[in-house]
């Protein structure tokens, strides 16, 4: 079974979007370099960001997102972003009627069930959990192995929190990845497990 990584780009003060779900300059780092991160060449980053991000993206087998993100993006038009094989959507509602019936999107009720489905689909590849409410729920349930952040040099002041509505202390190890790119700092922390 692969590892589970909670991930997003985040502001210095811990937000993944503002109050209106706008990301503002959070993703400026994805147009701040001259190395194409995707095949289309629409995302260009620094060499340091490319080396880190491309390696990470290539390890992902499944991404878990909440229904809110799915609805905001219209499920990326039925094609998972970044070449990911499958998306698992945590939702109390089923797949929209007639929405891309062949798309590799799986609608599951609850974080634990979503994780079980994602791990089944991912095999030994990484399961990525989108930060926010779903990511915070997965972290609180001790389903996350690592926390990954692309920290952008912006302060929102308020908005959608990286850890969602998590209300309990969570300990992380010292960062084992610290990479500076243009307009971003890539960080990864292993989650410290509570003693049994």
Question: What pLDDT is stored for residue 82 in this prediction?
Answer: 81
Please report where in the chains the tokens 């959070």 appear, as a residue.
Answer: 26
- Token readout for 39 is 């095949």
In a domain? residue 196:
no
Q: 10-residue block means of pLDDT along the chain (196 residues)?
A: 95 96 95 89 92 95 96 94 92 94 96 97 97 96 97 97 91 97 98 78
How many domains does one find in the chain?
1
DSSP state at residue 81 = G
In a domain? residue 184:
yes
Question: What pLDDT is stored for residue 98 in this prediction?
Answer: 92
Bridge partners of 38, per DSSP, are none
- The torsion angles phi and psi of 63, rounded to 5 degrees, stand at -120, 135
In terms of residue numbers, what domain contains 41?
4-190
Burial environment of residue 166 by CB neighbours within 10 A (0 to 12, 13 to 18, 19 or more):
middle
CATH code of the domain containing 12: 3.40.430.10
Three-class secondary structure of residue 43 per DSSP: coil
Please report where in the chains the tokens 């972290």 appear, as a residue.
Answer: 139
pTM: 0.94
Question: What pLDDT is stored for residue 3 in this prediction?
Answer: 96
Question: What pLDDT is stored for residue 86 in this prediction?
Answer: 96
């Amino acid at each position: 079974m692969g590892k589970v990584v909670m991930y997003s780009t985040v502001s210095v003060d811990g937000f993944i979007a503002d109050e209106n779900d706008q990301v503002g300059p959070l993703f400026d780092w994805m147009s701040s370099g001259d190395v194409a991160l995707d095949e289309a060449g629409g995302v260009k980053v620094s060499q340091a960001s490319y080396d880190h991000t491309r390696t990470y993206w290539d390890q992902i087998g499944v991404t878990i997102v909440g229904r809110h993100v799915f609805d905001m993006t219209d499920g990326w038009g039925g094609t998972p972003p970044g070449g990911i094989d499958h998306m698992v959507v945590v939702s109390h509602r089923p797949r929209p009627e007639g929405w891309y019936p062949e798309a590799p999107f799986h609608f599951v009720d609850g974080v634990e069930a979503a994780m079980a489905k994602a791990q089944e689909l991912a095999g030994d590849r990484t399961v990525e959990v989108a930060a926010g409410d779903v990511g915070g729920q997965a972290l609180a349930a001790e389903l996350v192995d690592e926390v990954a952040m692309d920290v952008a040099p912006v302060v929102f002041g308020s908005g959608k929190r990286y850890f969602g509505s998590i209300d309990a202390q969570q300990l992380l190890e010292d960062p084992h990845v610290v990479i500076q790119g243009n307009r971003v700092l890539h960080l990864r922390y292993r989650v410290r497990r509570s003693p049994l």
